[in-house]
Structures are given as C-alpha cells and as structure tokens.
Structure 1
Amino acid sequence: MKKITYLLTVLLALMITSCDEHLDAPSPSDVDEASIFSIYELAKGAIDGIKEPIGQTNSYRGRFLTHYGSNTDIEWVNADATSTGGRNDLSRYVNSPENSDMNRDNVYWAKVYGGIERANVCIRGLRTYGNPAPGTEMGQLLGEALTLRAFYYADLLKAHGDIVERFEPITTETIYLPKSNRDVIYKQIIADLGEAEDLVAWPGETSATKTTEDINKAFVKGLRARLCLMAAGYGQRADGIRRSNDPDLAVSVLYPLALQECLDVIAQEGSSVNLEDDFETLWRKNCEENITAGGESLWEIPFSEGRGRHLFTYAVRHQHKDQYTGQPRGGSFGPLPTVFYDYDTKDMRRDVTCVPYRWSNDEQAYQEIPGVETWYFGKWRYEWMTRFVTSTNDDGVNKIYMRYAEILLMAAEIENELYGPTEAAPYLKKIRRRAFDESDWSTKVDAYVDALTTKEAMFDAIVDEHGFEFCGEMERKQALIRWNLLKTKMDESIANMKALAAGEAPYSNVLHTIYYKLMDDGETLDIYGLNRGDSDANAPAGYTSTEWISEEKLDLLKIESLYENNPDENQFWPVWQVFINNSNGQLVPGFVE
C-alpha cells in the first residue's frame, strides 16, 4: 500500500523569514534551515511537505482536479442543462470571480502558493546548505523541489494565464505582489526544469525514483516539453488570442528544445519507460494503485487512502453502496455522446473510455442504461479497485499527471511542425498500434498514417488522436487553447451532437434503438446496437429494446449548454474575488499587458 509522508511542522518553522539585517547573530530561520537542509532525512521531509497542500480540502483534492478541464469538444459535465453555480458555471465558461465553489480563502489558489512558498524555502536551503550535486541524494532533492514548484506553476498558468510570480521566499516587502506576465514565469520554470533533469534519476534507477509518485528524469523532461509547447502556443491575452511576442518563447526556439526532451525519454523505452501493452491494463493498474515506476505512468499526483476524489468525480457512476464500493459516487463528468461513435469500431480504447451504463441503486447492483445523453468515463471504475472504499467522499486513487503516450504524441506534433509528416509518422503509429489489434495494423495503423502526406493532414490526425487517447483525463482544454482551436472544435461538437440526434451525417449509420440483456452473472449488460452499421434486423433474440437516440433524448438545450459564454473570450479563470479583496490593491481582474 502506498504511503506518502507529509511533514508539516518542519516547513511551518520556515515560512517566516527574518528581515533584520543589523544583528550579527544568525536569525532563527537561518539556524533552522542550516539544521534541516544539511541532513538528508530532514531535508527529505521538507520536500515531502511541498506536496502536502495537494490533499487539503479545497485544493487539488476537492477543487482543482475536480473542476478544471471541462467542457471541451470531447468532455462535459453530466449535469442538467439548467444547473448553475460552482462547477457547472465554470464548465460552461461562466467565469465569475465570485464563483460559489472557488471564492473562498482556502481554495487551491492559496494552497498552491503555499506549496510554492515551501518549494522556495527548500530550494534556498538546499542550495545554501545541502551541496546538491548531480548524482547525490541532495541533488535529487533539489531536482524534486524545482520540479514540484514548476508543476504548481504549470497548473496555475493553464488555469489562469497571467499569475503572481514568486521564486524567492516571502519577505515583508513581497507579501503583496501584482500579477506578472506569464512569459516571465514560463522562462523561469523551463530553465528550472533544465537544471532539475540533470539532478534526478530515471524511473526505477534509484530508491528515490522507484514509484510513480517520485519525481524522475522522464517526468521532468516530459513536463519541460509540455511547458515549451504551452509557452510557444496560443492563448488569450489582453489584446486577443495570440502567441507570445517574446523571442525566447518562439516556436523556432522552444519546439527543438521540446523535441529533444521527448527524444531523450523515447530513447529510454524498454528500460525506464514503456507503453502498457494493453490500454485497459493501464487504467486497471491506476485503479489497483500499482505505483511501480518504469511503465507508462511517468508521475502521479499522490493521495493517501483518505484523500483524493478522482473516482469520486470521474468514475463510472455507482448510485448505492454495493458489492464494489461503499462510496456511491462517480459520474460528475463524461464523454460527449458523439465521442463513442467517433472512435473507429475496432479501436480498443473506445470501450475502455466510453461507458453507456451506470450501476443500479441496489446493494447488489447491476448495470443499467441511463440514456444517450449520459455517458461515463470507463478509465476509472470502483469495480477495478483492489481496495474497498468506505469513505463518504474520498477514494485515494492517484491522478496520473503525465504518461508516456503524451511524450509520443508531442514528438509527433513537433516533428510534423519542424520537419513534416514523414518524421512524425513513427510516433503516431506507435500510439495507434496499442489501440488496434495486430491483425488490423496494416489498415488502421500503416495505411492510415502513411496517407497523411501533408503537414495539415498530419496535424489534424494528431489533434484527433489526442482526443481518442486522453478523453476524460482533462488534458484537452489546455491543448485546444494552445492550438487556437477551443471554440472551433466545441462548435464542431455541438453540430455533431445535433446531427446525431437527427440521424444525419456523419451519424446516419448509427442505430437509434438499442437492445440489451442482463447476463447470467446478474450484473453485466450485453448491449447490441451501439456499433455503426448495426441493424434492427440483426438484433439478437430475447433482448429488450429501447429507444436510444432522438431529439428528445438528446436535448437541444443540453447540447447548446456545452458553453454559455464564448470559450475563446473566457479561456482562463479569473483570480477569485477573495484574493483580490485581500491583495492590498495589487491583484486586479484582466490580463497583464
């Protein structure tokens, strides 16, 4: 069973920095830092303390991971179209600074900056007292601190755009700061990760990198590549949606850097990293809490058994305490109804990702069909867990923050942009080989990819593949923003959902009646009619039929509620009002010029 030790008391002693420069004797905080960061065991506890804010009630646990990422062209909140407030407003791009879920002083904004402050103290202490050279235990710790700080900033950047820059411990002069231009922060954390990757070991290489909860070289390089693409990509700014004007963040500068980071990780395939042979196995291991390093998961946001709400939020819905869980939850978000039909029928990711059933409201539950409007993410299932969850609101399953598949798709995207589709093809093929049975590789992998002979065609295919691979992982929104495709792709999805409801192309060969039967185990449904090309004439005998798709079943109001405000004008969340009010006039709405 995984165990994460979060050391609070050590870090609390470090949060206040003495500013009295007239005393000859060292300040108490200097003495504490010298004592802590010159001894590995104490310094390690301080590094663990950087992660402690993740599990706090309204931090990553109950706000950031449970709210960010929806709605997109493939994911939406499974709420009634008229439901407002909190998460529902944010999903529909109603980004009020007074949002009822976010406008509170203990929300993730405060907790993340608390984690950044702890990282700043650790970085200063290790540099001053730890002799953190590459290949040493203290070097590993410094690399971890730099990476955890970059991780926090990366998520603030993708959620808010321009944010407050803090790379030194707080002093009385720096308690109140305005927002900084995001470009300054991008440059700093990209440089920090360049230092960190020389300090930390590969996955499984040392005892410090034996689990997916440990910071390792593959993750650091992958995060650096991701940040390069974000920094060089599009985003909403004060004067509209554009790339950065900073020459240091140009595509010509950052894409080669990101590519090299990806290639370094790819060179480790078979030793430090690998794709899981089977897509379902990847997610079963996540639900089983298998955190052994060296596979596809490069780093996971760690939760103890009593913290974390990932299945609570994203799993297939259980309506009652039943044979699989003592926590009747899941299903707050799901795939759009069209996503299942957009997969190739032979794509093995489809049935793992898109689940059309929920578990009944019974102690001995069985699968039942709620309707075409409500699908669930099948990557997370209480029924796959080896631990029976009894908490009322926490499941403790880690969030996979980065996996090797993303490295391959980033490599494909960058190779295509810099050198063209031929150079991108091997990486896209590797992703699709895992998605299809080997007997289909000649058509679904080789012929499909080899037909992508232009840069534009390859890019469009990579955008599609990203959706098929990462649906439900809440990575899509940020990717669409940096591609400048957020509203464009969401509008396409609205049109597609209307076409599905009306039985029009490209969904004219989708059956509007489905047939189902409860199997002999008394809990599993067998469903006929979901595949394109299925027909009423071939429906199996003895199955119950039900209307599945219609304009009434797939409500127009729900379809059009994919967004309420223009997504391209609301790409980022505001700073929440409570923090504006308490900023001594430093924080204001809007972007930095």
Structure 2
Amino acid sequence: MKHKIIILGIIIAGIFASCQDLSDDFLEAPAQSTLDESIIFSTPGLAKGAVDGIKEPFGQTNSYRGRFIPFYGFNTDTEWNLNSDKLNDSQADLCVYNAMPNNSQMNTENNAWAMMYLGIERANICIRGLRTFGNPTPGTELGQLLGEALTLRAIYYADLTKAWGDVPARFEPINSETIYLEKSSRDVIYKQIIQDLGEAATLVAWPNETAATSSVERINKAFVKGFRARLAMVASGYQQYPDGVRRSNDPELTVDKMYKLALDECRDVIESGSARLETTFETLWKKYNQENITAGGESLWEIPFSDGRGRVLFSFAVRHTAADQFTGQGRGGLAGPLPTVFYDFDESDTRRDITCVPYRFGTPSNGIAKQELGSLDTWYFGKYRYEWMNRYVTSTNDDGVNKIYMRYAEVLFIAAEAANELEGPGAAAPYLKEIRRRAFKSADHAQKVDAYVNALSSKESMFNALVLEHKYEFTGEMERKQSLIRWNLLKTKLDEAKAKMVNLKNRTGEYANVPTTLYFKYAEDNVTLDIYGLNRNENQNPGIEYSAVTWENLVDDKINSLFKTGVNPDDRQFWPIWQVFIDGSNGKLVNDYNY
C-alpha cells in the first residue's frame, strides 16, 4: 500500500516547533521538545516518525505539489508549458525565462522556497538528535534513519541550488544567531551534500535488503549512490554564477574528481544488481501509473504523495476534457513535448509513442470520452496516463501519484558520460547499448544498437549521441533543463529547437516529408483512435473508413514563446528569490543574475 504523507502527531510535531516559530523569545529559550529528544531519537519507532516528517513539506499546497514540480524544468528543447504563449501570465513567465521576484504564482510565504527550508530544518533536527542520542551505525534501524535524514536534506538542497543557484547554507538547527543568513556559494553546499551522501551510503541498505528498503518511498543505497553521482556531475558542470556561465573554480569540484566519483558510484549500483531497467518502456510507465512502488526495479526513489495530494498527472497527463470513464478530474495537459520531438525519434523506437501523444480525451457522452486529435502544436506526455491507473481519481485537484525522482536509466547515462570523458567511448558503449537495447525490438538490435553505438569512435561523437539519447529517454520527466545547463547547451539547444519548429511548420529541411494531413478512425472499442499519417511519407488516404484532418497550426507566436523574445536563457538559468523572502531576510538576501 502506498505510504501516506500526513501531518505527524502532536508528539513528533513538537520536535519541529522551531521550524514554525522563529520569535526571538522562543529561540532564546530551549524548545520544549528538546526534553524528549533523548527518548525520541533513541527509539526507532519514534525516530522514524520524525524522519518521515522531513518529507511532509513535499506535499504542502504551494511546495513541490503545486508549484515546484509543475513549473520547474520548462522550457527546453524537448518540453514546454502549453501556455507559454500567454502574455503577462505568471505561469508562462516561470517557463519562458522571464520570472520576476514578484511572480504571483510564487511570491507567497508558504511557497516552495520556504517549504524546502522547512524540510531542511526538520532534517537538521533529526540529524542532530540521531547523532546525539541514537548511536546510528550501519545495519541498524537508527543508522538507516540517519542515512535517510541526510539524503532528504540533500534532496532539498539539490533542488534549491537547481532552481536558485546560490542559497543560504544551513546545516544545523536554527538558533537566535542564525535566523537570517546570507547566501552561500553553491559550491560549499555541493561539497557538503556530496559528503553527506557518502556517509548515507554506508548507513542505508540496498533495495529489498531490509524491510525498510522494500519500497521506493524509502531511501536505499542504490538511490543514494545514483543521486550522489548526479550531484557530482552537476557540481562540476557549467552553470550561471554571478560572474557568468562557467564551471566551478573550486579545486575539489573539478571534472576529473567529480566524474571519477560519479563513475565509481554508478558502477557500484550497476554491479550490485539491486536495480534494473524494466523489460519494456511501456512496462516501466504502466507500472508507474499503477503505483507499483516495489523496490528493485527501475524507479530508485519517488517523492511520495497520498491519494489526496500531489499533482503529477493533474499537471502532465494526457489531457482529459472532463470527468470520464478514466478519471473524475478532467485534467492533465499543462505541458507536453515540442511537436518536433515525435518526428526526431527513429520510427522503430518503442519510446516514441509512449513519450509523445497527439490526442486528448474529448467531452464525454454518458460518461464515456473518446480520444480526439488535437493540433500539431499540442502534444501530451504519454508517460502519465489516468487510463493506466488502477484507481479512479476523485479529488478535484490532486491525483496522489508519486513523482519519480531518479530511475536506473539515469545511472546508466551518468556512467556512460563519465566513462566517455575519463576512459573513452569504448568504455561508455556498454551503458548506451543497454539503454538502446530496451528501446528497440530484438530484430533491430544489430543495426540500431550494436552498429549505431560501435560507430561512435570519438569522445565528441559519443557525447553528442548521449545528449541526443537523453532526449529520447527522458522527455517529459523535467530532467532536461539542468542537463542542458551543465553541458553549456541551454541557449544553443533552445535556439536550435525554434529553428526546427520553423522547419516543421514549413515542412522544410529535416521535416520536409512530414505529412500535412492525418487520417483517423475509431477502433472496435469506439474510444481509441487508429491514426494514419503521423509517420513520415504517410501521404495516401488509407481507406474510405478514415476521416481526414489537417495537421498544421504551428504559428510563429507559439514557436517564439519557447523563451521570451529579447531574453537570453543563459542569463536566466535560475529563478529569482521571491520578493517576500527578500523582504523578510533582514537585508541579508539579494538577487543576482540580472534580476
């Protein structure tokens, strides 16, 4: 049964009082809960309740649930918010590199920034309590819990630095002298959380090694090591600093050191056999939508939401116009893949039709909705589907489906990228082959896997292939933006994406043979579309039983909305700190990056 994120009981909540009451009088006096910490953090059941409380801010209304997950990660060369072309729109501004400190979606005291620091404060209290009273050693319940607390704190900091760059570093519970802090260099934070994850990896168990790690809603060693590898790549990668886009100047965060760390960690996970790719891409995403949270598969860790919290499908699923036979919400379709992505896939790549969906579910008749073709500029992420769920969502604005935070395919990608840089393309090849082997049917492996990868004989060609493969594997998972930033390709790929969409609109260049007319009929269930004309060169009417529809409507205003005209995305790689937090910082916080 899915783990439920809930508000903790009054005893556990008392531990976290210091997160919520920051008055000077309160901070000068010892918190009442400190009288109980010796019992709470030396008792596994109570300590687990406290560590679970670190995750509760994920589900708050304006936190990950309704703000960070729906809006961070757009727009890229593969994904866009479908409302990006709206002018003077607070949601669109978050995605088109035009967010301002007073953005009305974000500029509230209970927003993601605040909730992340609430989670960090709870983690700090748990880490201090477990170290002081718990004797948290490897192989013990309290050791597992300390590893979880360290990892959860690292997750919050990783997302803070991903969205805002330099942020305040707070690794001890708040006291009267540390209420207000200036921003720290993100390099300081990277080094601390990479170190913390190294410790956590010694404390937590592999997937399914213990009861605690039988679910992907609990932290396990495969995730910790994979996550540590991801952070090593980010820390050594390109990103915007106040003085420009560059790699870190910190000698501890060089490419050589961080890539070696990443490669070592990934190889540990791969060699452990504790996680694996699902047999097919469709199986992966069906199991995800069916809320299969058993550890040991492809999902390494998921942000857990209860049935009545979380907006992953609500935001990203194939669009349902109204409540119908599949969902009681009538939602989805906030964002989707760029219209070029479908046509960039190899037609025999099984990931294509899972990733890119050209239809929505229309207005239901007698409760039954049919699939309906949209237009060329509106595709949906097929990885998220109410129709694949095992339960019927009735909440008005939440679906309760978890957010996959990391999956095993990313471990293979990081291993390939790091191995290519340190050891050459031959060392990267096995990892890329494993990814492509799952993407293509066995009859295509000789050409699409072995011959394709073996031809990548230089570091440059292998790197370029990995950048391309990343698109095919991860579109719709909002991982692309940070990767483009660390590769120093954000502006380059966004410009390229605009040019490609112009070519698709005009049916020129690489899209000259994309049909302008689609033909469709309904399958025997009278719900599912049978579509002809999506593939290149499918230009002939397949039969009188098919209806025709024009497949165009990709206009310049929509294309140009990928990022705001006149704005350089490389100058806006991060969101600004929202004004409410600037105003409440006692003069300590300021915005950089031309805000």
TM above 0.5, yes or no, is yes
Distance 2:48 2:560 in 1: 50
Residue of structure 2 aligned with 1:222, choices 223, 226, 236: 226
Show the counterpart of 1:548. 551
- Classify the secondary structure of the residue corresponding to 1:298: strand
Distance 1:514 1:448 in 2: 31
Q: Does 1:60 align with 2:30?
A: no
Q: How does 1:193-212 map to 2 (within 5 A)?
A: 193-212=197-216
Distance 1:292 1:543 in 2: 43
Show the counterpart of 2:170. 166
Distance 1:122 1:243 in 2: 33
Show the counterpart of 2:242. 238
Q: How does 1:140-539 map to 2 (within 5 A)?
A: 140-269=144-273, 272-362=274-364, 363-536=367-540, 539=542
Which residue type is aligned with residue 451 of structure 1? A
CA distance 1:356–1:591, change in 2 (3 Å):
closer
Unaligned 5+ runs, structure 2? none
Which residue type is aligned with residue 547 of structure 2? T
CA distance 1:179–1:26, change in 2 (3 Å):
closer
- Judge conservation of contact 1:8–1:49 (CA < 8 Å) in 2: no
TM-score, length basis structure 1: 0.96
Deviation, structure 1 residue 265:
0.4
Distance 2:193 2:323 in 1: 44
Distance 1:405 1:93 in 2: 29
Deviations 1:394-442 (A, max 9, x none): 0000001100000001000001111111110000000000000000000
Distance 2:229 2:174 in 1: 29
Which residue type is aligned with residue 546 of structure 1? V
- Following TM superposition, where does structure 1 have runs of at least 4 consecutive aligned residues deviating by more than 6 angstroms? 17-20
CA distance 1:41–1:523, change in 2 (3 Å):
same
Deviations 1:517-569 (A, max 9, x none): 11221111100011123222x633321111102xxx10111001100021100
Distance 1:501 1:376 in 2: 18
- Judge conservation of contact 1:529–1:539 (CA < 8 Å) in 2: no
Distance 2:443 2:543 in 1: 27
- Classify the secondary structure of the residue corresponding to 2:65: helix
Unaligned 5+ runs, structure 1? none
Q: Does 1:568 align with 2:570?
A: yes
- Judge conservation of contact 2:326–2:387 (CA < 8 Å) in 1: yes
TM-score, length basis structure 2: 0.96
Distance 1:98 1:284 in 2: 39
Deviation, structure 1 residue 506:
0.5
- Judge conservation of contact 1:15–1:117 (CA < 8 Å) in 2: no
Distance 1:528 1:490 in 2: 30
RMSD: 1.7
Distance 1:13 1:115 in 2: 13
Show the counterpart of 1:32. 36
Which residue type is aligned with residue 303 of structure 1? F
Q: Does 1:3 align with 2:6?
A: no
- Classify the secondary structure of the residue corresponding to 1:527: strand
Show the counterpart of 1:578. 580
Distance 1:34 1:11 in 2: 16
- Judge conservation of contact 1:323–1:365 (CA < 8 Å) in 2: yes
- Judge conservation of contact 2:44–2:141 (CA < 8 Å) in 1: yes
Count of equivalent residues: 583
- Judge conservation of contact 1:319–1:359 (CA < 8 Å) in 2: yes
Distance 2:576 2:84 in 1: 25
Deviation, structure 1 residue 27:
6.8
Identity rate of aligned residues, in percent?
Answer: 62
- Judge conservation of contact 2:75–2:562 (CA < 8 Å) in 1: yes
Which residue type is aligned with residue 53 of structure 1? P
Distance 1:15 1:383 in 2: 42
- Classify the secondary structure of the residue corresponding to 1:372: coil
